Amino acid sequence: MRKLIAVLSVLFISIGMFAYVNEGYVSPVVNVVKYASPAVVNIEAVGKSQQSSLYDPYFDDFFKRFFGGELPDTQKDVTAIGSGFIFDKAGYILTNYHVVENSNKITVSMADGKKFDAKLVGGDSELDLAVIKIETQTDLPVLELGDSDKINIGEWAVAIGNPLGLKHTVTLGVVSALNRRIAKPDGSGYYVDLIQTDAAINPGNSGGPLVNIHAQVMGINTAIINTSEGVNLGFAIPINIAKRFASSIIKDGKFEKAYLGVVVQTVNEELVKALGLKVETGALISDVEKDSPAEKAGIKTGDVIVKLDERVIESNEDLVSYLRAYSANTKATIVINRKGQELKLNVILSSKESKIVTAKKSYFGITVREITADDISEMGLKKDLGGVMVETISSSSQSILGLKTGDIITSIAVNGKESKITTLKDWESVASTVKKDSYVALLVYRKSYGNFYTKFYYRGE
């Protein structure tokens, strides 16, 4: 009995001792979460597709006989779930574009349970950024936007969001790397300059904030590594890119991307030997558009771009992806290698939109534009591909035709007669003559998909 009492006494003393370790200590992460969580929101975006008057049930048989293939399945209601955060008391919210893309109803839920309808102010699929807005007379909590250029590897990183629909989940880690580049899941290019973190990020975290220990937003949680390949590898878009984007969207209603005006290809061993290049990596200039920023800066065919500002360029994908994050009318320093000599050139990147000729009229709910040198580089197109690029598309036409902005129309067939589309003039000359009650098919090229036909029955405007 005495031994038992002695053992119990030691046990109680030990428990008492451990209970007072770090007494009164509160993790600084607790304060970060208390401050940041009210401004983090859950986003539900519903995309509703329905058959429009363009569709005719007898067209499937017509298309089989003249073109082959089946009509695509009717799209169904789809609800995307993601995260976002309020960054302005006027009700502006930052999130990922893929969360709200093609949605016709967006609902925002706050941490306190309040719900609001939101509208899309603007978005960009290449940057995967979007700004949405809610209307309320309530004083809204906001998050402070930090400076992602001052992030250090190893500093604390707190991710707040709604992974797998589990609202306001908090995960903790560190910034494990900077300036990461990973391929987008749809094959449309690369995410660049990403912040890498080991704070757990899962589906549903998209659009939520990655904050530092001062509760300042460092980035927007966007992507994860396939769980079959690795775990605890999440990526966020630097907040400085998002700040430039949001400012432009709110002020002008759009984000004008930088335009350089070159066609580039990746330097490889064959090109080095054939052209006698003095570098083994970089973006080789194969064409320079007349009067473009590149030409004005002194860039010539045969030059190899090896650096954009402080970013090393090892391939054409590097150059294209980095340029996407630049806004129009900004200055940049480009380092080129010209026959072994390294030159530093200053360039003023202009507005891409100002260099593009767009069709004056919409046909079938579609507005198209000409293809530029930058498009050829970004999409890896053949110079002689021809065609026109889809600039805008109405929601009713999008649901039936299945087109996306950036698709290239290379031919149009009307009632069994097909015409090749090489220029904007070709498109307008055929599209403008299509009469109502016509069967129409478009041959479309999409980078991540290839060539495909889309078809519809045209009942007139």
Q: Which residue is catalytic, options 37, 49, 83, 98?
A: 98
Instruction: Please report, for residues 100, 193, 308, the alpha-carbon distance to residue 95 in angstroms, rounded to integers and kept in the order given.
Output: 8, 17, 27
Active-site residue, 206 included: yes
pLDDT of residue 129: 93
Q: Which residue is catalytic, options 49, 148, 206, 397?
A: 206
Phi/psi at 339 (5° precision): 55, 40
Q: Which residue is catalytic, options 83, 103, 128, 315?
A: 128
Q: How far apart are the first and last CA of the chain?
A: 97
Nearest residue to 435 (alpha-carbon basis) of 406, 414, 420? 414
Neighbours of 390 (CB within 10 A): 21
Regions in the chain scoring below 50 on pLDDT: 49-59, 71-74
pLDDT of residue 57: 45
Query: What's the whole-model pTM score?
Result: 0.69
410's CB contacts (< 8 A; 6+ apart) are 385, 386, 387, 420, 421, 443, 444, 445, 451
pLDDT tens digits for range 251-275: 887 777 788 988 888 999 988 988 8
Active-site residue, 112 included: no
Residues found in the chain: 461
pLDDT of residue 74: 46
**What is the rounded CA–CA span in Å between residue 287 and residue 119?**
41
Nearest residue to 193 (alpha-carbon basis) of 279, 330, 310, 86? 310
Q: Coil, strand, or helix at residue 374?
A: helix
**What is the rounded CA–CA span in Å between residue 459 and residue 440?**
11
Q: Coil, strand, or helix at residue 16?
A: helix
Nearest residue to 326 (alpha-carbon basis) of 271, 395, 255? 255
Active-site residue, 318 included: no
**What is the rounded CA–CA span in Å between residue 224 and residue 212?**
19
Which percentage of the chain shows pLDDT scores above 70? 82
Q: CA-based angle 77:106:135, to the nearest 5?
A: 160
pLDDT tens digits for range 322-376: 887 787 888 999 999 999 999 999 999 987 665 556 666 788 888 888 887 777 7
In which element (H, E) is residue 33 found? helix 28-36
